[in-house]
Structure 1
């Protein structure tokens, strides 16, 4: 298939170099956006058409647009990193493209071809490369591809029309003052995903449903919520925006790095999959298995659970210091980031920053290095 041809409409009022520098000095997360975005349309019978890079700005939607009534919406999240040679690369965007297509399939939406997904990243970075922070740290340009149903009319059925869009937002380091552990609320009433449901899709409805338990967790001083399975209310599934890992040690000092089995009900995290590979590269045994909420609490209490952490695109790895629940709370290890957690975090972020070899070919160049003068 030939490369798609994008039209490019420059923003007539882009941010000034001074304003861009101010933003990049303290970008936070999701607060500021680059000068441009990508749009691609889908029409049943025609397919994907009109790929374009256009000035960042509002959409116009009809009040009866199907996304507003029946929730056909999906999204992804990935990052672009400035490399030491000045090039710009993204971490495993092919995996994001595949997951985006899988989410579309589950939500009965048109599947965006992988080559068009990847081309959208390249085309946007070609015009907004100056928004990517300097190399050397964990600052990045967060990329948010998403798709919505745009057909006009009511009636519960798949939309015949869709809009794919890509926006970008500079992101500072998740831990500006060093990696800090978080407290987690173990939720026993509300669930995140069920077999046969939409847990395997990255769709907005899953996140909307997590907002109430997230608020409950916040009332207990927790930054995240960990969910049990919907069928037995026994087995750890995932957190609201993270997959989970646990470090167990036996009486002889043997180590097990365990992560809950996805069960075909939970979103397959790209960071999770990458960490399994990195751990094996480091000689750490990794097990995907069922882990109950009771095992988490009991083994944290008796000291055989020494570390726990969440993983995802935003923070890469976030250590868990304390797990709280309706019956009390218990610290994980000494409540501080553990050595396995930090070893894995450093190994993966070094690949993303271009500070370590990339033996698995995970980094995809979106903008080449400047030509030597």
Structure 2
């Protein structure tokens, strides 16, 4: 039986519960069964009903957080053998568990790369994606770095598009959030000795989300410079969006949050002098009309939002330099901001290094360059503003 058939069988069992995370008062997150719609959303764009094209009416769109409280009920999946000769055509399935042996390569040796993307409801009354070909390219490069079989770009785009179409009712009203998409490529085939997986699975699932940081979008965040641990080293995996890059940062991130900081900035592993990136986003430093950001040299994730902000800022008259940025330079900057698919553009309210704290802008207020670029980027993404770059891809 194929992996897709096994998944379908598991997902359609009567006792199956497609889980949503709920947060009880004063307790830890627990799994709870989702609301089941009157109609199943396994549909292509041509079959979408008027109800599915609208937004869900049972969700408080003004209180969205960043999590799985409103996970899409439909996911997309395809498989491929290690020889890479043929990817399956892919299909939509109910969101649910993946059948996988304990000996799956990804569970033992870590062959797993993923992407983060968003679909938004635009001012033109349609649902759009932002530069999906860039995500396809980054997954392709990451897969090659881990000796995986990368999905063709057209298959990746089809997977993302069909997932959005099938979960269109979970795309929030314009300006109230987005449908976060998680394409995931894993070495699902079983293996004992170290080597590439004998087969691979590409899955795309989604969830309706709001602001990434708890304070809300554009609320300045407080960062602390990490001086003990490093996120990545030259020649390593820091520039690849692979699963193994993220859990190691939790020990420092959680400690920082206990002290009241939003996140951690990491330094280069050679000299402990230059900024690299925050746990899950890129960083920019502003001085006058010059914006600087650390260069891509294999230790920093090549963010799609990072790339877009560089191009957009240059088109708006800023000088943007991809050069090493020292901690001392950052502490003397006019402002700092971070970028990423989840955070979009987030102004930094303060940076703390070895006990010294530098405040940027008025407390609680977004800094001017970050605000300008955020408004331009989100205006373009939501089709409130013209798209001179050709970045917007309509879905339905």
What TM-score bracket applies, with the shorter chain setting the length?
Answer: 0.7 to 0.9
Report the CA distance between 1:327 and its aligned residue: 2.9
Match of 2:109 among 70, 78, 91: 70
Name the structure where strand makes up a greater proportion of residues.
Answer: 1
**Structure-1 residue corresponding to 2:124:** 85
Q: Secondary structure, in 3 states, of the residue corresponding to 2:395?
A: strand
Residue 177 (structure 1) shift:
5.7
Q: Distance in 2 between matches of 1:274 and 1:194?
A: 25
What CA distance in whole angstroms lies between the structure 2 residues aligned with 1:262 and 1:177? Answer: 29
Which of 283, 288, 295 is the matching residue for 2:317?
283
Pairwise CA distance, 1:288: 1.4
TM-score when normalising by structure 1: 0.88
Q: For 1:74 and 1:209, locate their aligned partners in 2 and report how far apart those are by CA, in whole Å.
A: 16
Q: Does the CA-based 8 Å contact 2:76-2:93 persist in structure 1? A: yes
The equivalent residue for 2:183 is: 145
Contact 1:81-1:352 within 8 A present in 2 as well:
yes
Partner of 1:344: 373
Distance 1:291 1:134 in 2: 39
Q: 1:221 aligned to 2:260?
A: yes
Q: Could you tell me which residue of structure 1 aligns to residue 58 of structure 2?
A: 22
| Equivalent runs, 1:33-72 vs 2, <5 Å | 33-45=71-83, 46-72=85-111
- CA deviation after TM superposition for structure 1 residue 127, in Å: 2.1
**Residue in structure 2 matching 1:94, options 133, 149, 154:** 133
Aligned to 2:90, the other structure's residue is in SS state strand
With the length of structure 2 as denominator, give the TM-score of the two structures. 0.83
- Indicate if the aligned counterparts of 1:24 and 1:131 stay in contact, CA closer than 8 A: no
Q: Is the 8 A contact 2:360 2:367 kept in 1?
A: no
Q: State the SS of the aligned residue for 1:348.
A: helix
| Cα distance, 1:307–1:138 mapped onto 2, change above 3 Å | farther
| Distance (whole Å) between structure 2 residues aligned to residue 248 and residue 219 of structure 1 | 31
Question: How far does the alpha carbon of each residue in 1:276-329 deviate from its partner, in whole angstroms, 9 at most, with x for none?
Answer: 1111121111111111112223x1xxxxx1110111111211111111233332
Name the SS for the 1:200 alignment partner: coil
Q: How far did 1:145 drift?
A: 0.3
Structure 1 residue 79, shift from structure 2 partner: 0.3
Quote the residue 2:354 is aligned against.
Answer: 326
Name stretches of at least 5 consecutive residues in structure 2 with no aligned partner.
Answer: 13-34, 39-50
Which one of the candidate residues 103, 114, 121 is aligned to 2:153? 114
Q: Kindly tell me: are residues 261 and 178 of structure 1, through their superposed partners in 2, closer, same or farther at Cα, counting changes over 3 Å?
A: closer
Distance (whole Å) between structure 1 residues aligned to residue 36 and residue 390 of structure 2: 34
Q: Does 1:266 align with 2:339?
A: no
CA contact (8 A) 1:257 1:286 kept: yes
The answer to whether the 8 Å contact 2:275/2:327 transfers is yes
**In the TM superposition, what is the alpha-carbon distance from 1:334 to its structure 2 partner?**
4.0
> In structure 2, what is the Cα distance between the partners aligned to 1:33 and 1:323?
34
Whether the aligned pair in 2 keeps the contact of 1:24 and 1:170 (CA below 8 Å) is no
Could you say what secondary structure the match of 1:273 adopts? helix
Secondary structure at the counterpart of residue 312 of structure 2: helix
TM-superposed deviation, 1:107: 1.2
Instruction: Specify the SS of the correspondent of 1:74.
Output: strand
The C-alpha deviation readout for 1:202-247, integer Å capped at 9, x for no partner, is 0111101111111222132111110101122211111111101111
Using a 3 Å threshold, how does the CA distance of structure 1 residues 345 and 104 change in structure 2: closer, same or farther? same
Tell me the equivalent position of 1:256: 290
Contact 2:218 2:345 in 1 (8 A): no
Where does residue 391 of structure 2 map in the other structure?
362
- State the 1:44 CA deviation: 2.4
Q: Look up the SS of the partner of 2:374 in the other structure.
A: helix
Q: Which residue number corresponds to residue 16 of structure 2?
A: none
| Contact map agreement 2:223 2:265 (CA 8 A) in 1 | yes
Do residues 156 (structure 1) and 184 (structure 2) align?
no
Partner of 1:302: none
RMSD after superposition: 2.3
Q: Aligned pair count?
A: 348
